[in-house]
Structure 1
């Protein structure tokens, strides 16, 4: 069997050679402080005297940091452990098998395999990672041909319910209709991304995942204990200290636009490790492509746009500029 790792150094040989020729040995990473995200116990939502305070904590974290973590979230440790086991087996398939989708274990979820950054023109634009994008339409009718598909279905149902619950709380605090998210986001409009960050011997020069914001309403992340997730706070990068019992929640671009900048979609990135590979699973709470995003306030910062238009603009910007530009494209 061939190697499971993508051929990063061969594929990007010209970029590495150019770096050497031009003596560009700039470290793309800052020395950052590692901190714990705000931790919110969702059991408090079931306690009458604690419910409103818990909702206020969720709103505050979404406004000030754009990131928080939750415990007692309804996704069992058994489901998360099973998903991680299946995910690791999936990524350990030979690279050529993954790239060509030539094994039943891979195509049972109609996944789309991606690695690196095909449009990269310099080392700092490389994402030293590989991922399976799983459209949830692909598992809603899939026959239970593997433990992978069965485990994915179970995980997705729990994460979708959690995303809906959090989105409704955030809508209520704005005085907006919580039903908006049930009308626009269904399990089949969301998607799951399984990530692997291979060991990287040139880690000071590349990212695991380039700095970016998420193009959705909410993201739910389950990461391992290796660490590497970093986000911007007050103009500086901070590291997120892993918590084995928590799921990480972050605000996406669509919710920032819909809330007229009340909730913050914050830039974040992933740092690779020189010695140990890293795994994570991300659930993206997305609407249908024809959903229109618009704030209810009179003096909205952003013009009205569809999710499809937003996705297309992001894709065009990445091709043209090597990176996402995002919400500023839709300013009034």
Structure 2
């Protein structure tokens, strides 16, 4: 496990390397750390309890998934490969990775191929203390790298993507049934072809009370699925209180995104979440995000009709012009 005494600072984006003078300008004081921990609702993929799932989606917007069927060996191999790749020098990561696996740092929403400090024009309100790989899963079959580690990483991600597509489809079909949505259109409401993965590293931070690994946000997806390592830091907002989510081996954390909230006419919630950083241990997690078919029009009594492409374009525009994601409020009917 990486710790501060063993950290390879050459692997860090220069913005994160000591001395961290940037903490005075790019970051901010955090509120007192939360001590509250609640057990997330648990859903068993092998035998879905529809009432429990409905309650979790309405009251939480997030739940823990067990019996998901993804081999533990695959999860372990992915984390091991990710750790090795993150320990490459920052310059190597920038040079090595291009689509369908792109390197980013600071904020994945603004750009999947660069960092906040490298961008021109308006910046996000705060810099996230993290780096990662943005993976276009549908294009992995065309991946060709000379490096055996990168080749192996791509093959593992491709297999992981197939499992995540299966899990997301099964969960969505159960949610759609609960909402009396038309299951004949389920392939448009949630399209596995849109699935992407993000592999994150939250490096050790010398002043963990001055930076977020990931600032407060909601996801733009229909469904997001997170596989995290043993280092905690993930928090969700529940009843106006931040809840620490403890890592539990061989479980997945599933949360609903903005598009799922719109599809449900606000019956289900797109949950706010964030990630704390750690002074002594780096955190690695793998997120999977899936969306509707690109041209599928989402219709709701609460929001103007929009497509996934419309929502993404609006989010990118807001990030560049106002510095943060506005999200569903841009599409609300007045």
> Structure 2-normalised TM-score?
0.86
Matches of 2:21 and 2:314, distance apart in 1 = 29
Measure how far apart 1:92 and its partner are. Answer: 1.4
After the TM superposition, which residues 91-102 of structure 1 pair with which residues of structure 2 at under 5 Å, given as runs?
A: 91-101=86-96
Q: Does 1:6 align with 2:9?
A: no
The SS at the match of 2:161 is helix
Q: Scaled by the length of structure 1, what TM-score is found?
A: 0.86
CA contact (8 A) 1:15 1:122 kept: no
The offset of 1:35, in angstroms, is 2.2
CA offset at residue 158 of structure 1?
Answer: 0.6
Match of 1:132 in 2: 133
SS in 2 for 1:44: coil
The 8 Å contact of residues 123 and 206 in structure 1, kept in 2 or not, is answered as no
> What is the deviation of 1:293?
1.4
1:58 aligns with 2:53: yes
Per the alignment, residue 330 of structure 1 pairs with 331
CA RMSD of aligned residues (A): 2.6
Larger deviation: 210-219 or 281-290? 281-290
Aligned length: 311
Against the structure 1 CA distance between its residues 223 and 25, is the aligned structure 2 distance closer, same or farther, given a 3 Å change threshold? closer
Measure how far apart 1:130 and its partner are.
0.3
Structure 1 residue 18, shift from structure 2 partner: 4.7
Q: How does 1:163-242 map to 2 (within 5 A)?
A: 163-242=168-247
Aligned to 2:110: none
Q: After the TM superposition, which of the residue ranges 173-182 and 162-171 deviates more from structure 2?
A: 173-182
**Aligned-pair distance for 1:134?**
0.3
Deviations along 1:74-123, whole A, 9 cap, x unmatched?
A: 2111111111112112211111011223xxxx45x621211114179899
Task: Report the more deviating stretch, 194-203 or 81-90.
Answer: 81-90
Quote the Cα distance in structure 1 between the aligned partners of 2:259 and 2:85.
31
Are 1:81 and 2:70 matched, yes or no? no
Structure 1 stretches lacking a partner, 5+ long? 46-53
Q: Deviation per CA, 1:37-64, whole angstroms, max 9, x where unpaired?
A: 111222224xxxxxxxx12211110111
2:23 to 3, 16, 19: 16
Could you list the runs of 5+ residues in structure 2 that have no partner in the other structure? Answer: 1-7, 108-115
Establish whether residue 159 from structure 1 lines up as the match of residue 164 from structure 2: yes
Structure 1 position 330, deviation (Å): 0.4
Residue 250 of structure 1: aligned partner: 255
**Aligned partners of 2:234 and 2:275 also within 8 Å:** yes
**Match in the other structure for 1:266:** 271
Give the secondary-structure state (helix, strand or coil) at the position aligned to 2:65.
strand
CA distance change for structure 1 residues 25 and 97 in 2, over 3 Å: closer, same or farther? closer
